[in-house]
Structure 1
Amino acid sequence: MNGKRTALITGANKGIGLETARQLGQQGMTVLDGERGARAVATLRGESIDARFIALDVTDAASIAEASRMIERDLGRLDVLVNNAGIILGRPKPSETRLDDVRRVFEVNVFAAIAVTNAMLPLLRRASPAARIVMVSSEIGGLSNHGDPDWTYAWFNAIAYPASKTALNMVTVQYAKELAATGIKVNAADPGYTATDLNGNRGTQTVAEGARASVRLALLDDAGPTGGFYDARSQVPW
């Protein structure tokens, strides 16, 4: 069993996920790249980070189950889970939205986060001190934001991606309620508008800045919050 704390980051082969793995690795954690990220693992190892490749397709139940078995066999427990994997399929107007695209976005952004969390919970319950679960959301999913005409992204008018993040926020709250007595803290992270492939690299933040919210929540001490929505500095409106 590995004596170091261990973090699994889904979608860690690039962008914010890779940078989250890097920053947690720099804190001395063993980081597991939960995607098709052998090259990313090699990059992190070149930076003297203890990174390991876990073959994980977050939309495939058999792949998730096998990843859980591998972590149990090789490490015995899991201290941090960062559900970072996410997709966006364009930004069509609500009236032009294809239901198949909504289903695909929810499959990755919501259903996969539930499936991976449930599969990893037995390992997370073994962590000492208690584990941390981070759901990577977006302020785009905050309902109150969309009612504010002065909000930075008031122009954003689409269904699939923002609705998936709103749903993920509720998923976060419900896990936090169930796990409150265990000490496991579950929070949603808002990376902010970060330059990644998801937005054609048009974001105004670097990936180092975008990863800070997830890293902050992954490293919460026992006095830290649970069931909340946070960026790198403060609470974000639901």
Structure 2
Amino acid sequence: MDTISLITGGNKGIGHETARRLRDAGHTVLIGARDAGRGRAAADELGVGLVHLDVTDQASVDRAAAQVREDHGRLDVLVNNAAVNSVVAPLAGTTATEAAALLDVNVLGAMRVTNAFLPLLHASRHARIVNVSSRVGSFAATIEQDMFDWRVVPPVYAISKTALTMLTLKYARELPGILVNAADPGYTKTDLNDHQGTQTVTEGTDAIVHLATLGAGGPTGTCISREDVVPW
């Protein structure tokens, strides 16, 4: 039986490479894209399906879920990848409105999509959810290692990844029949960092692909990178 996989924000960067790798692994891949034109171009290039999906718009998310239900009847793998890094100022220079817009994509977007697709995931024999988080949201990495400051990682973005990792843990507890995990791509060359990252997109998708292809009995409620377990 085919594995049906959906990657949000799949028209570029880490999402695009995840789609390519899961396609090559034999999955029936759907990419979710907010911009229909860019999404269609990416889907045609990859030879995969397209779902028009704006993670900040509940009606759009619901239509996407209805489309996947009609076309496939279930969903086996959901990769919540869509994210923005639209607020680069320190907290004292950031308005609540600016922060809310970022959190709406990076955290609430993943929640909207997950909840809308849960009936289709429950229809799968072996469902997996992968939330693309980041080590920049780790308390341990921030406090003990003092690795990140706002000049390197804007704080609202880091906060969003902290929340996304906790969201992952809570879903893992609530959904015992589904493997729910978070992946840290590492510092990967993407539009989010103006391609200043030190890893290729292939390296950055290693943890995502690993979690998306877990076998039955695999871990749930974890956060991993390509090299190690990310500390909470």
TM-score band, normalised by shorter chain:
over 0.9
| Mapping for residues 1-238 of structure 1, pairs under 5 Å | 3-35=1-33, 36=35, 37-45=39-47, 51-128=48-125, 130-149=126-145, 151=147, 153=148, 156=152, 158-180=154-176, 182=177, 184-238=178-232
User: Higher mean Cα deviation, 30-39 or 78-87?
Assistant: 30-39
**1:48 corresponds to which residue?**
none
Tell me the SS of whatever aligns to 2:17: helix
- Structure 2: gaps of 5 or more residues: none
Is the CA contact (8 Å cut-off) linking 2:30 and 2:50 kept in structure 1? yes
Q: C-alpha offsets along residues 85-130 of structure 1, whole Å, 9 cap, x if unaligned?
A: 00012421221122111101100000010000000000001112x1
Q: CA deviation at 1:157?
A: 6.2
Task: Please report the TM-score for the alignment, with normalisation by the length of structure 1.
Answer: 0.92
* Local SS of the residue matching 1:57: coil
- In structure 2, what residue type is equivalent to 1:199? N
Moved over 6 A (4+): none
Shift of 1:233: 3.1
CA root-mean-square deviation = 1.3
Query: Percentage identity across aligned positions?
Result: 48
In structure 2, relative to structure 1, the CA distance for the partners of 1:71 and 1:147 (3 Å cut) is same
- Equivalent residues of 1:59, 1:108 under 8 A apart: yes
Give the number of aligned pairs: 227
Aligned partners of 1:101 and 1:160 also within 8 Å: no
Q: TM-score, normalised by structure 2?
A: 0.94
The C-alpha deviation readout for 1:55-77, integer Å capped at 9, x for no partner, is: 11111111111111111111010
CA separation in 2, counterparts of 1:164 and 1:212?
Answer: 22
CA distance in structure 2 between the partners assigned to 1:96 and 1:83 by the alignment:
29
- Which blocks of at least 5 consecutive residues in structure 1 are unaligned? 46-50
Partners of 2:144 and 2:88 lie apart in 1 by 20
Q: Counterpart amino acid of 1:95?
A: A
Contact 2:136 2:153 in 1 (8 A): no
